[in-house]
Structures are given as structure tokens and as C-alpha cells.
Amino acid sequence: MRADDRPTNFHDVIAAISAAEKTAGRAAGSVTLIVVSKTFGAEDIRPVLDAGHRDFGENKVQEAQGKWPALKEDYPDVRLHLIGPLQSNKAKDAVALFDAIHSIDRPKIARAVADEMAKQGRKLQLFVQVNTGEELQKAGVMPREAAAFVAMCREDLKLDIAGLMCIPPVEEEPAVHFAFLEKLARETGVAGLSMGMSGDYETAIEFGATHVRVGSAIFGAR
């Protein structure tokens, strides 16, 4: 894909999100687009920044450290979202660089993030990742444990949990998982729903997504 296609693709995705919001009877602007820039360099990201977008997602702390500090100097209002698994030994770096973490999924990680936010005087937007497909190889708290885990984060660690996140199994109908996550969010009393990627974000919006994570529809195949 040519670099000059990216702003066009970005505007196409924005238009599709707006249409999906309208179709679902939701307020305009109620869905945040997280442009997933993992594996792409600064030169690939700048055209989307220049088009006015500011919310970006990365999978790995170390990769993000290699490109975003310099980009943030030029675009200081960027909001970075960590959407991949977080290791506790990376919590310090993650809290320093990111503005949101979508992959809180076990007590050790929650405690490490809480400690670092207190030390650094930062307050990040936090999402609990739920393994809605109960896949052994995938990160995320099991659905039956989600309510108790959110309660622990809130009551024991005094964390403000903004919402839930899921990545549906590739071979299953995503709508089933989106509906399930929305139900879990209501039961646990959180408002945010981080769900939906390039192939299914419009469906996710129909089921209440507040944050969609779109990469290949903008940047092309990795």
C-alpha cells in the first residue's frame, strides 16, 4: 500500500464509524477510533497524524518506545493505547509512555500498574481484558472471574476501571462475543467496551463498542 493511501483509508474508516453510530442509534462521536500502528514506523504513522488523528494503539512497550517519544514531541496531544499483553517488569515503562492500557488481566499486572501510577503521578485509562472464548493460548481473565477481578481492582487497588476488552476467536462469529462482553460490562458496572478490529468494527459498534482498534484497514497488511 502506498503511504498516500493511508489518509484516504483513515477518512473512509472514520466515515464508516460515523455511519455505524447512526445506524445503531448512537450519538455521533461516541466511538473512539484507535489506529493500530504496531509494526509500522514513524514515516508510516505521520500521514495519519497529519490527517488529525491522535489515538493510536501499540502491542509492545519496547516497540512503542522506539518510535513514539520522538513523534510525541511533534504531536504532544497524542493518546497512546497499549492493546497487547503487559508483563509486570514493563509496567514502569508502560505507565510512563501510554495513556491507556487495554490488557489488565491478572492481579500481578493490576498491582504493578497501580504502584507505578502512584509513583509517577499518572492516571491511565484502564480496561480489563476478558478471554470471552476461554482460549488457553490467549490472554485475558475468564468470563466467570471478570466481576470479581474488576471488584478487586476497584476495592483493593483503588483503580478506576474504564471498561472491558476482548479479542474474539478467529473462527467464531464475533457478534456473539461482542454481545457477551456488553452483558458482562453491564453486570460489572463499567461503561467502556474496547472491541472490534478491521474486519468487524462496524458490528462491534452495533453491540455498543466505545473503542474500536483498526490497523490493516488503514495501513494495509503487515
**pLDDT, tens digit (0-9, with 9 covering 90-100), for 28-77:** 999 999 999 999 999 999 999 999 999 999 999 999 999 999 999 999 99
Q: Are 196 and 10 in contact (CB under 8 A)?
A: no
Q: What is the pTM of this model?
A: 0.96
CA distance 33 to 197: 10
* CA nearest neighbour of 32 among 125, 147, 160: 125
C-alpha cell at 136: 488457553
Give the tens place of pLDDT for each residue, 170-183: 999 999 999 999 99
The pLDDT of residue 30 is 98
pLDDT tens sequence across 102-113: 999 999 999 999
Residue 87 CA to chain centroid, in angstroms? 17
